[in-house]
Structure 1
């Protein structure tokens, strides 16, 4: 007999006995993605370790306007601020301390492969239909890790847009794939740090404007050449393998967005 069925049977039997008082039965917390990652302690400013790094991956999309959350394993002010924004977005106590309530929400959002609920590796690995994470400037392992961080940023952007679907039309591209589709030679798609998006129930401009608050240092949208039908977002500031790692470039003129960010 399964544990849940046995528990119900015991309670039912006890209820049938006269004079037996039944204490309130507290349900076990819902199952979560143990196959991915489980936090063992509260995290707050001053703490460090791999558990902080794992948290930083998941709150990277709550960095705030023109900012990023470094994936360095150190719980500093930027990480605390991102956690606060995450907590506020999901109706939690916004104290910047990652504890049981914050983890429960993260568990509810993540799948066993650590991807967020609404995005998948398959979506981010366009690859011109070839699959796999090799063929770019970085190792397949690093490229896939970049794509995971990108997905968590997209999850935050999706939340900001009212949990309205975002269709990813292009993610990682190998060098051959990038050349085939006519991508720039230094495209962020080569690193797993970029995605082209088409919102289903909101406008392109809404997506481009909101992306400014979610850790994306590269945004191209309506008004930028060849971007009238999608929004491109990337994390070039975090990509230390190219020459644009410390720059922020936003251009969607038809949405009132220029390189100044306004």
Structure 2
């Protein structure tokens, strides 16, 4: 069987499975079944109370919609926080906001991601100008890439909230060598791949710092914080540190 035919068959089977799941739970949709995707394809509808790797993959994609000051966990358990994040995602894109991830929600996610699992407006290269293999940091290369990908989804949500205008990334993952070369802190989140420095562009540094509070970043450092008058720093860490005094944060 030729490869194109195999791909078409795979897409048909994935769509058929999701359509069947939609019928079983008794939910109707006018968008039809979700199509297969080059990065990740969901095979069932997801709702509160469910769990699994497919839930975790969904949580990554809606991690930028946790609400003000919150951070959405990516534990694979579809709880109230995940449902609320899905609702915010659905509202942001004009979808029926029922907190259930079905074909319309998945199709929008597919439209927002590339086949390498980056988002349509950010790339791995943009998040790593240190080396090509993501090695030499505080975590494994695969973990650093996964952390960067999570940050991309948060920034994708932030970008949409800011009118779908460009967000300029000036620095993200750093190996220990790269971090030392730029004078970074020895405990920098850049070493983990989950920190991103943003430059001024369509939006001021203060506007970026203020908006980041809604998109799942526990660390926000900006103008007025020592060493951060020329960029806004956002990161994913376990405890909250927000400080951009010149921006009212």
- The counterpart of 2:55, out of the listed 52, 57, 67, is 52
Give 3-state SS (helix, strand or coil) of 2:63's partner. Answer: helix
Relative to the length of structure 2, the TM-score reads 0.85
Give the corresponding residue for 1:104.
Answer: 107
Q: What TM-score, normalized by structure 1, do the two folds share?
A: 0.81
In structure 2, the partner of 1:252 is 244
Please give the alpha-carbon distance, in whole angstroms, between the structure 2 residues aligned to 1:230 and 1:33: 39
Alignment of 1:1-262 (within 5 A): 34-127=37-130, 130-237=131-238, 247-257=239-249
The alpha-carbon distance between structure 1 residues 63 and 226, as it changes in their structure 2 partners (threshold 3 A), is same
User: Is the Cα–Cα contact under 8 Å of residues 33 and 111 in structure 1 kept in the other structure?
Assistant: no
Mapped partners of 1:33, 1:110: distance in 2? 12
Count residues with an aligned counterpart: 221
- Matched residue SS, 1:197: strand
Q: Which has the larger radius of gyration?
A: 1
Deviation at 1:198, TM superposition (A): 1.7
* Structure 1, gaps ≥5 residues long: 4-27, 238-246, 258-262
Cα gap change, 1:209/1:55 in structure 2, threshold over 3 Å: closer, same or farther? same
Question: Shift of the alpha carbon at 1:199?
Answer: 4.1
1:210–1:109 Cα change, 3 Å? same
The 8 Å contact of residues 158 and 165 in structure 1, kept in 2 or not, is answered as: yes
User: Residues 205 and 117 from structure 1, CA distance in 2 versus in 1: closer, same or farther, beyond 3 angstroms?
Assistant: same
The 1:177/1:110 distance shift into structure 2, 3 A limit, reads same
1:29 Cα offset (Å): 7.8
SS of the residue aligned with 1:135?
coil
1:33 CA drift (Å): 6.7
How far, CA to CA, are the matches of 2:186 and 2:36 in structure 1?
A: 38
- 2:34 and 2:165 map into 1 onto residues whose CA distance is 25
Q: Secondary structure at the match of 2:62?
A: helix
User: In 1, distance between residues paired with 2:200 and 2:81?
Assistant: 28
CA distance in 1, matches of 2:146, 2:36: 18
Show structure 1 runs of 4+ deviating over 3 A. Answer: 28-33
